[in-house]
């Protein structure tokens, strides 16, 4: 049926139209008059299709089914080919993947072997360097001990030099500085010379230089150098001596206060006991401190007869010469006084350092 003919009738009859009651198109109509006088149109739907149309539709359906079967078969074959291609491609990709995995494994094994070889070589080199460094350290310790022994001996030899030639009053005096400089030269001289003039020194040499001929000769050389540099200088501040003065060949002074007396003057040359380099300076010193004391007095018979007594001793230094002045007093008067009384020993001591303030000691 093409549609609901009742709705079509109602729609056709709706409204105020002049053509109401006209039959509907496309369908068979039958008119019926109701008792109430109303007219109804009954429609019969036409058939769906004719036999020719159905035959054409059947032929079309067969042809379509055949085409679909051919298409399905073609697509099935295409799917089979695609499946085989995919299988081949998967197999090829898997083979390539396995080949890459195998190549990677071989590279990994080769890399591990190379790394093991490098590590083994590095371990051996490190072990060799450590062994060499330990040997070098042992050699450095032995060298350091040897140098320490000889340096200790060198310093020990400097102690007598400081005791003999050092200036105790002035730590920075010329003698002390000379001895310190000499000691430093013999302690570090070889290393300084090598550092300045050695051009092709072995880079693998030990840190500590071994004791050599310089180290062995340094103690003796230091003593010789100290003696050579300071031997002619005055290193002993006080010089002493004993002078024996004969009491003779002097006339008596009978008018002297306190009674007759014999004046005596003894001259002592101090230069032989003073260092050569110090003599020119010592001769210019004024008011040099000097002391003297009377020792043993040995009187002859004439001296005992007049009962001579030695006193009034004074000491004075003038231009490097010590002058000892004293008198022999006569306690027993005589008409004739002897000229030879005996001899006396005089002990003296002189300060060779330059006087700070004018001092005169008797």
Query: What tens-digit pLDDT sequence spans the chain (362 residues)?
Result: 344 444 444 444 444 444 444 544 555 667 778 888 788 777 766 666 677 888 888 888 888 989 888 889 888 888 988 898 888 899 889 999 999 999 999 999 998 999 999 999 999 999 999 998 888 888 888 887 888 888 888 888 888 887 777 777 777 777 778 888 888 887 777 777 666 665 555 444 556 566 667 777 788 888 888 778 776 666 677 888 888 888 887 777 777 776 778 888 888 888 888 877 777 888 888 888 889 888 888 888 877 777 788 888 889 888 888 899 888 888 777 767 777 788 888 898 988 887 876 544 44
Enclosing domain of residue 307: 238-351
How many C-beta atoms surround the C-beta of residue 189 within 10 A?
Answer: 14
Q: Does a structural domain hold residue 93?
A: no
Q: Does a structural domain hold residue 88?
A: no
The answer to whether the Cα torsion of 51, 54, 56, 59 is positive or negative is negative
End position of a domain, from candidates 177, 203, 230: 230
Helix (H, G, I), strand (E, B) or coil at 359: coil
Question: How many separate domains does the chain show?
Answer: 3
The answer on 347 and 243 residing in a single domain is: yes
Q: Does a structural domain hold residue 295?
A: yes
Q: Does a structural domain hold residue 265?
A: yes
Q: Does a structural domain hold residue 199?
A: yes
Residue 312, domain CATH: 2.60.40
pTM for the model: 0.47
The answer on 304 and 269 residing in a single domain is: yes
Q: Does a structural domain hold residue 338?
A: yes
The answer on 247 and 342 residing in a single domain is: yes
The answer on 340 and 261 residing in a single domain is: yes
* Structure-token pair, residue 295: 């020792």
Q: Does a structural domain hold residue 280?
A: yes
């Amino acid at each position: 049926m093409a549609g609901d003919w009742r709705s079509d009738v109602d729609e056709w009859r709706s409204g105020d139209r002049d053509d109401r009651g006209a039959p509907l198109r496309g369908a068979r109509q039958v008119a019926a008059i109701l008792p109430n006088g109303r007219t109804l149109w009954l429609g019969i739907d036409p058939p769906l299709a004719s036999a020719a149309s159905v035959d054409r539709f059947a032929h079309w359906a067969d042809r379509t089914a055949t085409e679909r079967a051919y298409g399905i078969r073609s697509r099935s074959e295409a799917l089979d080919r695609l499946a085989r291609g995919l299988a081949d491609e998967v197999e090829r990709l898997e083979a390539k993947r396995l080949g890459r995995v195998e190549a990677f494994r071989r590279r990994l094994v080769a890399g591990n072997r190379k790394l093991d070889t490098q590590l083994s070589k590095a371990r051996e080199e490190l072990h060799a360097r450590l062994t060499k460094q330990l040997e070098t350290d042992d050699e450095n310790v032995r060298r350091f001990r040897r140098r320490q022994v000889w340096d200790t001996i060198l310093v020990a030899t400097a102690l007598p030099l400081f005791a003999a030639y050092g200036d105790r009053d002035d730590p920075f005096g010329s003698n002390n500085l000379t001895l310190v400089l000499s000691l430093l030269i013999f302690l570090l001289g070889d290393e300084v010379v090598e550092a300045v003039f050695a051009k092709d020194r072995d880079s693998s040499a030990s840190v500590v230089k071994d004791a050599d001929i310089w180290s062995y000769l340094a103690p003796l050389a230091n003593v010789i150098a100290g003696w050579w540099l300071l031997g002619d200088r005055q290193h002993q501040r006080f010089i002493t001596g004993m002078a024996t003065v004969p009491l003779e060949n002097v006339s008596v002074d009978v008018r002297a206060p306190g009674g007759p007396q014999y004046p005596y003057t003894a001259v002592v040359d101090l230069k032989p006991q003073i260092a050569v380099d110090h003599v020119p300076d010592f001769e210019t010193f004024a008011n040099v401190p000097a002391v003297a004391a009377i020792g043993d007095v040995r009187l002859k018979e004439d001296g005992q007869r007049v009962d001579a007594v030695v006193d009034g001793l004074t000491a004075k230094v003038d231009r490097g010469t010590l002058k000892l002045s004293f008198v022999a007093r006569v306690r027993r008067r005589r008409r004739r006084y002897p000229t030879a009384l005996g001899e006396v020993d005089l002990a003296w001591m002189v300060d060779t350092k330059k006087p700070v303030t004018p001092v005169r000691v008797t």
